[in-house]
Structure formats: C-alpha cells, structure tokens
Amino acid sequence: AQSVAQPEDQVNVAEGNPLTVKCTYSVSGNPYLFWYVQYPNRGLQFLLKYITGDNLVKGSYGFEAEFNKSQTSFHLKKPSALVSDSALYFCAVRDGTGGFKTIFGAGTRLFVKA
C-alpha cells in the first residue's frame, strides 16, 4: 500500500530565504510523485511532478523538487521565498504498478514572513 509522510505541520521562512518542505513516501512499484498547493478559499492546484528521468524537477511559480530514491524522499524547494507562497502544500504519490489512486500527505503549512 502506498503512503506519504510530511513530517512538518508548519514551515516558517523569511521572504527572500530558501525554503524546503519535506516529503517521504512508500510505494510497492515505481513512484509517481506530485506536489499540490492549496491557497485559502481556493481548490487544490498542481505544482509539479516526478515520473522518471532527472531527479530535480521544476514546476510552477519557481518551485522545484528533488527526488531521492535511496531516501524515498521528494522534498519541495524554492531558492527565494515570497510572501505570496504562504499556503498549504501537499505531497502525493501514485503507485506505478497499476491503478490510478493518488494518496496525499497530511499537508504542510508554509508561512513566509515579510
């Protein structure tokens, strides 16, 4: 069975500083990994995904994520945080062995202080 863990309920960072939001996963087969963001009073939006290939994937709004197979991690990163990045971030995984169920982590609230 697939699962996702986001060990931090909240991440606080100053504007202009780099940010990292952590995610670890467990799947039976090859993982398909995703990050989604939820802004207040808005639906979940796709940020980026890893399927195969380069371990560093780039997505929307300057975000990127690094896939590490040995550590089963997929951490979300951004070189310079903006106040407008403050939101709820969800890591998600889909098991590549079949089926299309996507499992989400509990979420990490990112707070960027001006």
Partner 1 sequence: DTGVSQDPRHKITKRGQNVTFRCDPISEHNRLYWYRQTLGQGPEFLTYFQNEAQLEKSRLLSDRFSAERPKGSFSTLEIQRTEQGDSAMYLCASSRGSGPGEKLFFGSGTQLSVL
Binding mask 50-69 for partner 1 (x = CB under 8 A): -x------------------
Instruction: Give me the 83-102 binding string for partner 1, x by CB under 8 A, dash otherwise.
Output: -------x---x-x--xxxx
Cβ distance 105 to 75 under 8 Å?
A: no
Is 107 a binding residue for partner 1 by CB under 8 A? The answer is yes
Q: Which distant-in-sequence residues (6+ apart) come within 8 Å of 41 by Cβ?
A: none
Q: What are the structure tokens assigned to 59, written together?
A: 């997505």
Residue 42 contacts partner 1 per CB under 8 A: yes
Residue written as token pair 């890591």: 91
Q: Is 25 a residue that touches partner 1 (CB under 8 A)?
A: no
Q: How far is the CB of 56 from partner 1 (least distance, A)?
A: 17
**Which stretches of 1-114 are DSSP H helices?**
none
Instruction: Measure the CA–CA gap between 91 and 71, rounded to whole angstroms.
Output: 15
* Closer of 48 and 112 to partner 1 (Cβ): 48
Beta carbon nearer to partner 1, 69 or 101: 101
